[in-house]
Amino acid sequence: MPISAHVMAPHRNTPSRDAPVPRIALVGVHGFGAHHLANIRRLEQAGTVVLVAVADPNPPEPGSLGADVEIFRTLPELATAGVRADVVIIATPIQFHAVLAEAALSLGADIYLEKPPVASLEQFHELVQHSTTAAAAVQTGFQSLGSAALPRIEELVASGEIGAVQGFSAEGAWVRTRGYFGRSRWAGKRTLDGVDVVDGVATNPLAHAIATALRVAGARGAEDVTSVETDLYRAHDIESDDTPALRIRTASGHVLTCALTLCAPDQRRPSVRVSGTLGEIVLYYTEDELAVTTPEGTRTEHVERVDLLENLLEHRSSGAPLLSSLEDSGAFMTVLEAIRTADAPRTIPDEFVAWHGEGAEAHPVVHGIEDLMGRALESQALFRELDPGWIPQATGPDDLVLDGSTIAQYRDGSGIAPTLAPRPYLHPVRTLGGVTVTDHLPLDHVWHLGAGVAVQDVDGVNCWGGRTYTRDAGAYVWRADHGRIERVSTHRSASSLEEDLRWQGPDGAALLEEQRRWAWRRLDDSTWQLTLTFTFRAPGDTPVQLGSPGSNGRPLGGYGGFFWRLPRAGGVDVFTAEHEGEDAVHGTAAPWLAWSADFDGGPATLVFLAAPEAPDPWFVRAEGYPGVGLSLAWDTPLTVQPGAPVTRTVRVLVADGRLDAARVRGLAGSSAAAAGGTDVQEDVRCATVS
């Protein structure tokens, strides 16, 4: 609806806010305007409103409106005719909202303005100022904000049923066809004819998910949002995003993570989630349904919704608060502005997209999108931080490079969510043939981070991530006890990386000092060796106690220290010189442990060589999730005394192909000999640790 309305003709009569039946003008009768038309008819039958005029370049079908309803092509024509309207509903393409709202203010009317209210933050601020000057009420069309679920969520959070709030999220997985984006010139556009449109999934079809989640997180005005990180992609042949992730930080310190797509395998109910230490609340906002999970189980609650037009009418008659006022759209507009000013969305490569259907009914499905969205929401991460394969990964100065090829990427972990114990790690680690043999932020344990060092109990601080196992509870519980590991200094050579690291508690106090050295070298045409040496020192004159779930009472749960999270794979064989299988190997102290499997990129084998400094038991998982570690505190705490550093050296042989026991013994022996250690072909003794 291309309308210019800088100068408006004087209207016939001054709108009367005290009129018994408010007079409604509808601008835009097609698309979502048809919904408004049906709602107006409902209210007319109840005798609460009267439709006096509509404006649309494509007029409604003759006879579809009452005989008393005047029909115009544009809002200026309506104004010139002197039509008196108490409320103007604007349901047009996004790029016309600002100019039409200004025109409606010139009529002296209150406004119901469809979402998003305008196409830029500048337009938003201007409209707020003009509506304030005109003393006009402006309701924005985020219908879900009329739901009684919102105050109910506040009650549930205040009751403590779900414990302390850890974060908020919004999820939407919808299906949209080629025809959806071919329905108009502006569909899927960032700009059109030099004018902002911003018609992306987060700003139009699933804008309600963002707006509702912001409200639930307590963010209404623009000042309530401190930062917005955008990660925008598209599979459709459009300008705007159809598969974005957003991370929003609020002034109250909360994190809101949003994962949305119009390229799902099938349409699912969108939702807003409040995650707590004891449970969660999920709002399916299209149905006003709440799923409340507590330690006692999950229950479902259904609530009512107030129609926003009726709320606007009540505001006019009694001064009742607007449920979705223009001013309260400031937080959403801050998100829209971040999307508007972001770089153009990246195209998802064709090999990661499958098209279903034909012609205008065809719709794309991004490979693995549902799992990716789940990981993003659970870990408060952006898609690009999860390495889905279709996002180019930038190399870093501390990556591990061998003969010109990057065999492992170094990550400092600074962007990891606090509850996941941020720390440095390697991921992805690859074989010489390019097979990835690490995982990070997996959905089953989002605090598992590639290859590195982590300890769940450092003088009572969780430097592992996730829930903490306590002897008192006899279970894993969420606590505000997460530490972090930060780099202090570094030294790099062609084949090694040395770091000074600081382990610290939630309050920033120093827990441990660590010196860490990564070294790498080629063993043969299909194998390379990674050597990790780490040394712990007490930062002061008091001992530091390192513990684990095992030392805190959980049988066979003594993980902590070196840990390598593997990706899920098929045909897993895990064995030492004397034992085979997870149950037999877990908890044993053996000179080496082999893990052979068929990974996504092909078969590969990892050979983990035990630290020569101490007979630490192997921690092994293969069935529930794939991971290997050496346990510093299997069932007894390890104490780091002042002036008495604790050192461990772990070597990992990374080989292409599936290797049998004989080949593993040979590689392990060659590595040990090169390191000056005992030939493990002869030393195959294995002791079970109880």
Closest among 408, 417, 396, 541 to 482, alpha carbons compared: 417
Q: Please name which of 649, 563, 558 lies closest in space to residue 606, comparing C-alpha atoms.
A: 563
Using the structure block, give the residue that is written with the tokens 């009742």: 320
Give 674's contacts (C-beta < 8 A, 6+ positions apart).
none
User: For residue range 622-637, what is the model confidence (pLDDT) as tens digits?
Assistant: 999 999 999 999 999 9
Extents of the domains making up the chain: 23-114, 146-385, 418-677
User: Which CA distances in Å does 276 have to 113, 168, 243, 378?
Assistant: 35, 9, 27, 12
DSSP conformation class of 483: -
Q: At what angle do helices 207-216 and 149-159 cross, to 10 degrees?
A: 40
Q: Which two tokens stand for residue 294?
A: 């507590």
Q: What confidence score (pLDDT) does residue 678 get?
A: 40
Mean of per-residue pLDDT scores for the chain? 94
- Fill in the amino acid letter for 543: P
- Parts of the chain with a pLDDT under 50: 1-17, 677-690
How is residue 144 written in tokens?
Answer: 């879900």
The per-residue pLDDT for 26 is 98
Looking from the CA of 163 toward its CB, the CA atoms found within 13 Å total 16
Q: What is the DSSP letter of 543?
A: -
d(CA 233, CA 261): 9
State whether the Cα torsion 76-77-80-86 is positive or negative. Answer: negative
Contact yes or no for 667/655 (Cβ under 8 A): yes
What pLDDT shows up at residue 62? 85
Amino acid at the residue 488: V
The CB density around residue 2, as the number of other CB atoms within 10 Å, is 12
pLDDT at residue 682, as a whole number: 34
Q: Are 549 and 456 in contact (CB under 8 A)?
A: yes
Residue in the block written with tokens 């599936």: 658
Q: What is the C-alpha to C-alpha distance for residues 544 and 171, in angstroms, rounded to an integer?
A: 42
- pLDDT of 620: 98
Cα–Cα distance between 469 and 555 in angstroms, integer? Answer: 11
Q: Which residues pair with 271 in a beta bridge?
A: 171
d(CA 176, CA 35): 20
Question: What is the value of pTM for the model shown?
Answer: 0.92
Cα(46)–Cα(24) distance, rounded to whole angstroms?
14
How far are the Cα atoms of 527, 649, 680 from residue 608, in angstroms, in the given order? 13, 11, 12
Give the pair of three-digit tokens for residue 26. Answer: 């509808």
**Residue 160 to residue 123: CA distance in whole angstroms:** 40
**pLDDT tens-digit readout, 548-570:** 999 999 999 999 999 999 999 99
Long-range CB contacts (within 8 A, 24+) of 462-470: 462/421, 463/421, 463/423, 463/503, 463/511, 464/421, 464/559, 464/560, 465/419, 465/420, 465/421, 466/419, 466/420, 466/421, 469/549, 469/552, 469/553, 469/554, 469/557, 470/552
Residue given tokens 């114990």 in the structure block = 421
Residue 19: predicted pLDDT:
53
Four-point Cα dihedral 194, 196, 197, 202, nearest 10: 140
- Under 8 Å between Cβ of 439 and 426: no
The full length of the chain comes to 690
In 10 A of CB 104, how many CB atoms?
30
Q: Quick check: do 23-114 and 146-385 share a fold?
A: no
> What contacts 361, CB < 8 A, 6 or more positions away?
177, 178, 179
User: Treating both helix axes as pointing N-terminal to C-terminal, what angle do 308-318 and 33-45 enclose, rounded to 10 degrees?
Assistant: 50
CA distance 498 to 622: 31
DSSP lists the bridge partners of residue 273 as 169, 282
Q: How far apart are CA 681 and CA 609, in angstroms?
A: 12
Q: Which fold has domain 146-385?
A: Dihydrodipicolinate Reductase; domain 2 (3.30.360)
The class level of CATH for 23-114 reads alpha beta
Rounded to a whole number, what is the distance in angstroms from the first to the last CA of the chain? 76
Q: Give the strand pairing for 110-113 and 618-621.
A: unpaired
Cα 196 to Cα 94, 100, 102, 277: the distances in Å are: 9, 15, 17, 42
Tell me which residue has tokens 């309207």: 85
Residues 529 and 651: beta-carbon distance below 8 Å: yes
Cβ contact 73:90 at 8 Å: no
